[in-house]
A = this chain, B = another copy of it.
């Protein structure tokens, strides 16, 4: 398969590339570096990336920003950062990409454990991650031409614990290579509308 890996230079993206590269052609898409450039928060950037990509069988998105702040101090503008970036960036990757992807292709998006296991300052992240689960369940039943869609919902990564451990006390971290298996299952399997937790 030829796979567009958006966020392919990040911690998860690098692990996904390592998992899939032996068996597939990986096109790394990054905001500032990679085979192709794309900022998923921009519709025109997404469209331009798809125009340049040539034929492809799968899209993986492992990118997206969300703002963390205490609920009491969270402004509407701060809350919307995640809606415009991690949520609408991935939604638009599908809304636009459905017109470019090959028959029987697949989209694999990235949510996260906070959808059901919230932490302090994470109410926007919980909202965005849960939203992506709802989107994937709904998009799966409408996508034409045998196109599939799944979500990977990872817990905090071992590789990120030095930065985030004070937020994720008591969470069992997983290695990025474990999370990468969930992307493999989505891309190389046949299921659709699934939420693949990568928490154990």
Within 8 A of B (CB), among A113-163: 114-116, 118-123, 125-135, 137-144
Measured in the bound complex, the distance between the Cα atoms of B120 and A139 in whole Å is 9
Residues of B within 8 A of A74 (CB): 95
For A65-101 the 0/1 string (1 means CB < 8 A from B) is 0000011101110011001000110011001001000
Main secondary structure of the interface of A (DSSP, over half): helix
Question: A114 touches which one: B95, B123, B138 (CB < 8 A)?
Answer: B138
* A19 interface hit (Cβ, 8 Å): no
> Smallest Cβ distance from A87 to chain B, in angstroms?
8
Measured in the bound complex, the distance between the Cα atoms of B90 and A79 in whole Å is 12
Question: A88 touches which one: B76, B122, B123 (CB < 8 A)?
Answer: B76
* A57 interface hit (Cβ, 8 Å): no
**Contact between A144 and B95 (Cβ–Cβ < 8 Å)?**
no
Measured in the bound complex, the distance between the Cα atoms of B145 and A183 in whole Å is 42
Residue of B nearest to A125 (CB): B138
> Smallest Cβ distance from A48 to chain B, in angstroms?
15
Residues of B within 8 A of A114 (CB): 134, 138
> Smallest Cβ distance from A69 to chain B, in angstroms?
10
**Contact between B127 and A91 (Cβ–Cβ < 8 Å)?**
yes
**Contact between A120 and B95 (Cβ–Cβ < 8 Å)?**
no
Residue of B nearest to A129 (CB): B134
Measured in the bound complex, the distance between the Cα atoms of B95 and A161 in whole Å is 29
Give 27 A-B contacts (CB < 8 Å), ordered by A residue: A70-B142, A72-B142, A72-B144, A75-B95, A76-B88, A76-B95, A83-B87, A87-B127, A91-B127, A115-B134, A116-B134, A118-B134, A118-B138, A118-B140, A118-B141, A121-B142, A123-B139, A123-B142, A125-B138, A126-B135, A126-B137, A126-B138, A127-B131, A127-B135, A130-B135, A131-B131, A131-B134
